[in-house]
Amino acid sequence: MKQIFPDLWQTEIEHPAPGLYTHAYLLTRDSGNVLFYNTSHRREVEKMAKLGGVSYQYLSHQDELGESLSLIRERFGAKLGGHVNEQDEFSRFCKPDILFEEREIHLGNIEVIPSPGHTAGSTSFFVHSPHGNYLFTGDTLTLSQNRTWEAGFIPGHSDREVLIESLELLRELDPDMVICSGFDGGNPYEEISSDCWASRVDRALEGLV
Walk along the chain (209 residues) and give the pLDDT tens digit of each residue: 999 999 999 999 888 777 678 999 999 999 999 999 999 999 999 999 999 999 999 999 999 999 999 999 999 999 999 999 999 999 899 999 999 999 999 999 999 999 999 999 999 999 999 999 999 999 999 988 888 899 989 898 899 999 999 999 999 999 999 999 988 777 899 999 877 999 999 999 998 87
β strands within the chain, DSSP E: 2-5, 8-10, 14-17, 20-22, 25-27, 34-36, 56-58, 79-83, 98-100, 104-106, 110-114, 123-129, 132-138, 141-143, 149-151, 177-180, 182-183, 189-191
pLDDT in the model for residue 151: 92
Superfamily holding 2-208: Ribonuclease Z/Hydroxyacylglutathione hydrolase-like (3.60.15.10)
For residue 149, which phi and psi values (nearest 5 degrees)?
Answer: -80, 130
pLDDT in the model for residue 53: 97
Report the relative pairing of strands 25-27 and 20-22 from DSSP bridges.
Answer: unpaired
Give the domain ranges of the chain: 2-208
pLDDT in the model for residue 160: 96
pLDDT in the model for residue 184: 77
